[in-house]
Structure 1
Amino acid sequence: MTAVVCSAALVGGCSGSDSPGPSDASAKPSGTTKQAAPASGNDLQADYQKVIKDVLPSVVQIQAASDLGSGIVYDDKGHIVTNAHVVGDGKTFKVTTSNSETELTATLVYAYPEQDLAVVKLDKVPEGLRPARFANSSKVEVGQITLAMGSPLGLSSSVTQGIVSATGRTVSENREDGGTGATIGNMVQTSAAINPGNSGGALVNLDGQVVGIPTLAAIDPNMSGGAAPGIGFAIPSSMVSTVADQVIKEGKVTNSGRAALGITGRTVLGRSYQPDGVAVVDVEDDGAAQKAGIRPGDVITQIGDTDVTSMLSLAETLAAHKPGDKVSVAYVRNGVEKTVEVTLGEI
């Protein structure tokens, strides 16, 4: 599992349940009231147990050459989706299912570091392999209960619980801490505890559907780089399905769905020696920037209403858009500020 300022170390989430205290039970002498709260608690517990029973067989442990992570069975052909940073540079892997200690072997189909996703395929499909069901992540709402399933710290078939804390987050990984360097948009933030080894596993709703793949954890700068409890991020399930379907059919990603400006750039510093914009080093032929008249030497300072101070902030801004979106781009050319409308292309 990587971290927001990314690392292969993960976040501790929060868990809890609502149950009536003694004062609740004694406030009303009604027998109906006394029985209602325990029944509700039992119902929720039964929901948890059903989801775990249904989904956990679809979550596997993946052992790569230098990393341990998790994966989700995607179809009955033996395809498994996981994080690109879990597979790393590996081509072959050992896979263990939740209902067996037998090590299976798998081979890389394709890794897509730009979205930190990868697909591997079992060399031999065991009997009874159960694919997971993937939700439409656009329907995920804040407050929904989530269960994170995977192999944290090598403890296979582990489950933690929390809620969806936020949606639509854009976060960036750090290559130095084990990430792919990707900037990923529209992520699902969760309070479910995520620890090393959860990467590539399943974030699941109470309908037994995968809403995301746990991938990132927040780092608290006040804790000397330690994980910030209760803040984890998952790649949304709809993006996972989009990438996996293309990889299985085409052997690669043919339509990223990610917006691009079509430039090569570098961060420039202002008078206070702080990041102050992105200098255009090169523009792609017939790319979005070139079509709009942006040239090498221009310094991009704003996209829409968002200031652009560095390559990272540029990537994060673009991650919130889609190919074909029209955005205003402010830049400086020879000391003169200019603004142009750009139709974004695709990575």
Structure 2
Amino acid sequence: MCAAFLVAACTAPVPPARGDGSATRTALPLAASDLQAQYLKVIKEVLPSVVQIQASHDLGSGVVYDGLGHIVTNAHVVGSEKTFKVTTANSREPLTASLVYSYPDQDLAVIRLDKVPAGLRAAVFGNSEDVAVGQIVLAMGSPLGLSSSVTQGIVSATGRTVSEGSADGGTGATIADMVQTSAAINPGNSGGALVNLDGHVIGIPTLAAADPGLGGSAVPGIGFAIPVSMVKTVAGQIVRSGKVVDSGRAALGIAARTVVDAGYRPAGVAVVSVKSGDTADRAGLRPGDVITRLGGTRVTTSTELSEALAVDRPGQRTTVTFQRNGAEKTVEVTLGEQ
């Protein structure tokens, strides 16, 4: 379908010039006209399923998950609050909603409308396996409080592992398999919908890239969305059980911090404490050990260790290389669950 949209050589017939000398208007290429029609169709179908969420101090977006009033959004949108005001496509006045459960480790949360309005429409959630680089996507949400806004772009990359900052309102989570998009992601878009031209939600827009060299300013055209597979996994568990019962996230079972060398450069991850009976404890790691490698990945900071663990799975076997009293050691571990 996308290939057909990109074919611009086929155009509608051009009408003859008018005798009054006025300029002749050239018809839109058929492919462009078809693409515009598809945009309008998708927006009409999906935008009513995207809501605005107002907390005490923050504003974000959400996506209607089902007809029971469950709405999936980002954990950093709900923060530590329990009640919210939600504006849907059909509500003239904000509705009230309550938190079901927040899961900051994946920056996802589910809230539920206290009263389900008539005509509430659940979104259609797609499959991560169908997401490919180059696909046209639309980001829907409430950037800067401008409700029901739509931006357009493509899938720029898949499989990105991204660590959120916590100082700028994020949860500090490290999230694997994120969808990178050129569609504009601005404050307020968080928790909204990244949608393909089939009208399927393929991700939850969560953050934009920031350039430290520009004072942390957002970089245009580089945004990230949590993949729909993880959205369905986490939201599904919350709706069914009221919490996340199977995180699917690998862990070592340690508390850790970054250490630096004599030149104040990050040099590894120091084990601060070890959870009794967990992965690191069974492998013989002790407080004071400095981890420098997980499997084939070198780690110099706690963020790098989190990113390396994010692409692994509980039960997976790997190796941990660490320094103890000046000597390097390597042990095999079976990763636990976070």
1:43 aligned onto 2:34? yes
Indicate conservation of the 8 Å contact 2:6/2:31, yes or no.
no
Alignment of 1:140 with 2:131, yes or no, is yes
CA distance in 2 between partners of 1:25 and 1:297 (Å): 68
1:233-275 residue CA offsets vs partner (Å, 9 max, x unmatched):
0011111111111111111111111110111112111121111
Q: Which amino acid aligns with 1:126?
A: P
Structure having greater relative contact order (Cα 8 Å, sep ≥ 6): 1
Letter matched to residue 129 of structure 2: S
CA contact (8 A) 2:7 2:31 kept: no
Name 1:104's counterpart in structure 2. Answer: 95
Q: Secondary structure at the match of 1:222?
A: helix
Contact 1:19 1:37 in 2 (8 A): no
Counterpart residue number, 1:8: none
Letter in 1 for 2:255: T
The residue type equivalent to 1:146 in the other structure is: V
* Within-5 A mapping of 1:47-126: 47-126=38-117
1:344 partner letter: L
Q: d(CA) in 2 for partners of 1:191 and 1:113?
A: 25
Q: Deviations over 1:58-101 (max 9, x none)?
A: 00000011101000000000000001111111111110112332
Residue identity opposite 2:132 in structure 1: E
Whether the 8 Å contact between 2:10 and 2:29 is mirrored in structure 1 is no
Task: Report whether the alignment pairs 1:216 with 2:207.
Answer: yes
Contact 1:79/1:122, CA 8 A, preserved across alignment: yes
Asked if 2 retains the 8 angstrom alpha-carbon contact of 1:98 and 1:156, the reply is no
Q: SS of the counterpart of 2:29?
A: helix
Residue by residue over 1:205-242, the C-alpha shift from the partner in whole angstroms, topping out at 9 and shown as x without a partner, is 11111110000110123322211010000011111111
Task: Give the match for residue 198 of structure 1.
Answer: 189
What is the alpha-carbon root mean square deviation over aligned residues? 1.9
Distance 2:153 2:89 in 1: 22
Instruction: Measure, in 1, the Cα distance between the counterparts of 2:86 and 2:163.
Output: 28
Matched, 1:320 2:320: no
Which of 241, 265, 278 pairs up with 2:256? 265
Distance (Å, rounded) in 2 between the aligned partners of 1:195 and 1:299: 38
Task: Give 1:37 shift.
Answer: 7.4
2:273 to 252, 261, 282: 282
Equivalent residue number for residue 247 of structure 1: 238
Aligned to 1:233: 224
State the structure with more CA Rg.
Answer: 2
Give 1:346's aligned residue. 337
In 2: Cα distance, 1:297 partner to 1:89 partner: 33
Segment of structure 1 superposing worse, 82-91 or 93-102: 93-102
How many residues get paired?
321
- The CA distance in 2 between the partners of 1:254 and 1:74, in whole Å, is 19
Kindly provide the amino acid, as one letter, of the partner of residue 188 in structure 1. V
Does the residue aligned with 1:108 lie in a helix, a strand or coil?
A: strand
Of residues 216-225 and 238-247 in structure 1, the stretch that sits farther from structure 2 once superposed is 216-225
Q: Which runs of 5+ in 2 are unaligned?
A: 15-25
Is this contact kept in 1: 2:258–2:268, CA < 8 A? yes
Q: What do the CA deviations read for 1:101-142 (whole angstroms, capped 9, x no partner)?
A: 221110011111111111000000001111111111133111
Matched-pair contact (CA < 8 Å) for 2:55–2:81:
yes
Deviations 1:288-336, CA, capped at 9 Å, x for gaps: 1112222222110001221111111111111111111111211111111
- Percent of aligned pairs with the same residue? 68
In structure 2, distance between residues paired with 1:25 and 1:328: 57
2:180 maps to a residue whose letter is: Q
Using the size of structure 1 for normalisation, the TM-score is 0.89
Cα gap change, 1:262 to 1:36, in 2 (>3 Å): farther
Structure 1 distance, partners of 2:111, 2:213, is 38
TM-score (norm: length of structure 2): 0.91
